[in-house]
C-alpha cells in the first residue's frame, strides 16, 4: 500500500491515544515519508529482548507490568476495530512501548505501521509472498490470510494471540495467558475469542495480581 493510504488511515485514527499523531506527508525529493509524533520508546520485540538479556531491566519490569502491557495491546486493537480499521500486520515489531516511569511501573503501548491497514470489510489485496508462507516467515498472520483469504477482525485477533504468545514465551506468563492465547489463535476464525472478552479476562487477572 502507498504512503497516501497510510497517511489517510492514520489521520482517521488521530483521536486514538494508542496511535502516534500524524501531521502529514513529505512529498517530492528522493525519500517520501510520513511526519508523525515520535514514540520515545522501543518496539515490544526489543523490549522483550532487553527483558531477557538485561538483569537490571528484568528486575524492574514485573509480571503485572507485562499483563498491563498485554491489556493495552488488546484495548488498542479493539479501539482500531471500533474505528472501523483493521491493522492486518500486527506483531511485536509493530507495537511500541513507552517507559513513562520504570520505578512506578508505568508503560504505554502504541500501535505503529499502518502500511497494510484497511477498513473493516474492505477487500484486502494485501499480497503475501508464497515463499514467505512456505518458509514460515509470516507466523503472525492468521492461517486463512496465509492461504490468501481476505483479512478480518478475526484475523487481527489471531495476530493479537500471537503477540500474547510471544510475551508468554519471553516472560513465562504461562498460567496467566494460556487460555487467551489458545482462544485468540483458534484455526476457525469465528471461534476466536472476541477482544472485548479478552479484555475482560485480562483486566480481572491484572486487578487480582495488582491487588
Ligand atoms: N512513531 C514512531 N516513533 C518512534 N519510532 C517509530 C515510530 N514509527 C516507527 N518507528 C520505528 O521505525 C521502525 C519501522 O517502522 P514501521 O514498522 O512503521 O516501518 P516499516 O516500513 O514497516 O519497516 P519494517 O519493515 O522494519 O517493519 C519501527 O520498528 C520503529 O522502531
Ligand atoms: Mg513494521
pLDDT for residue 211 is more than 80: no
Q: Which 8-state DSSP code applies to residue 29? A: S
- What's the confidence (pLDDT) of residue 124? 66
Q: What is the pTM of this model?
A: 0.95
Residue 209 Cα to ligand 2 midpoint, Å, equals: 32
- What's the confidence (pLDDT) of residue 110? 98
Does residue 22 fall inside a structural domain? no
Name the residue of 46, 113, 129, 141 to mutate for ligand 1: max ligand atoms within 8 A of Cβ. Answer: 113
Tens of pLDDT, residue by residue over 28-40, are 778 888 999 999 9
What is the rounded distance in angstroms from the CA atom of residue 95 to the CA atom of residue 205? Answer: 22
Looking at the structure of the chain, the number of domains it has is: 1
Does residue 1 fall inside a structural domain? no
CATH number at residue 108: 1.10.510.10
Tens of pLDDT, residue by residue over 113-153, are 999 999 998 876 567 888 888 888 899 999 999 998 999 99
Does residue 120 fall inside a structural domain? yes
- Compute the average pLDDT of residues 52-73: 94
What is the rounded distance in angstroms from the CA atom of residue 49 to the CA atom of residue 57? Answer: 10
Does residue 7 fall inside a structural domain? no
Does residue 157 fall inside a structural domain? yes
Ligand 1: does its nearest atom lie under 6 Å from the Cβ of 92? Answer: no
* Cell numbers at 28, concatenated: 517530492
Does residue 25 fall inside a structural domain? no
Partner residues linked to 96 by β-bridges: 43, 110
Which structural domain range is residue 51 located in?
A: 39-210
Amino acid at each position: 500500500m502507498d504512503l497516501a493510504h497510510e497517511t489517510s488511515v492514520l489521520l482517521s485514527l488521530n483521536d486514538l491515544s494508542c496511535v502516534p499523531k500524524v501531521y502529514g506527508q513529505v512529498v517530492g525529493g528522493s525519500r517520501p515519508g510520513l511526519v508523525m509524533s515520535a514514540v520515545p520508546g522501543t518496539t515490544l520485540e526489543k523490549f522483550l529482548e532487553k527483558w531477557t538479556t538485561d538483569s537490571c531491566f528484568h528486575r524492574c519490569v514485573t509480571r503485572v507490568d507485562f499483563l498491563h502491557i498485554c491489556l493495552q495491546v488488546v484495548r488498542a486493537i479493539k479501539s482500531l476495530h471500533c474505528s472501523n480499521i483493521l491493522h492486518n500486520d500486527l506483531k511485536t515489531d509493530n507495537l511500541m512501548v513507552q517507559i513513562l516511569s520504570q520505578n512506578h511501573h508505568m508503560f504505554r503501548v502504541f500501535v505503529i505501521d499502518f502500511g497494510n491497514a484497511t477498513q473493516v470489510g474492505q477487500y484486502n489485496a494485501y499480497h503475501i509472498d508464497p515463499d514467505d508462507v512456505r518458509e514460515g516467515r509470516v507466523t503472525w498472520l492468521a492461517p486463512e490470510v496465509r492461504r490468501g483469504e481476505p483479512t478480518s477482525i478475526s484475523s487481527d485477533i489471531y495476530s493479537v494471540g500471537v503477540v500474547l504468545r510471544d510475551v508468554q514465551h519471553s516472560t513465562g506468563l504461562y498460567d496467566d495467558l494460556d487460555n487467551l492465547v489458545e482462544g485468540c489463535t483458534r484455526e476457525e476464525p469465528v471461534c476466536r475469542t472476541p477482544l472485548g472478552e479478552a479484555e475482560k479476562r485480562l483486566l480481572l487477572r491484572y486487578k487480582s495480581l495488582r491487588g
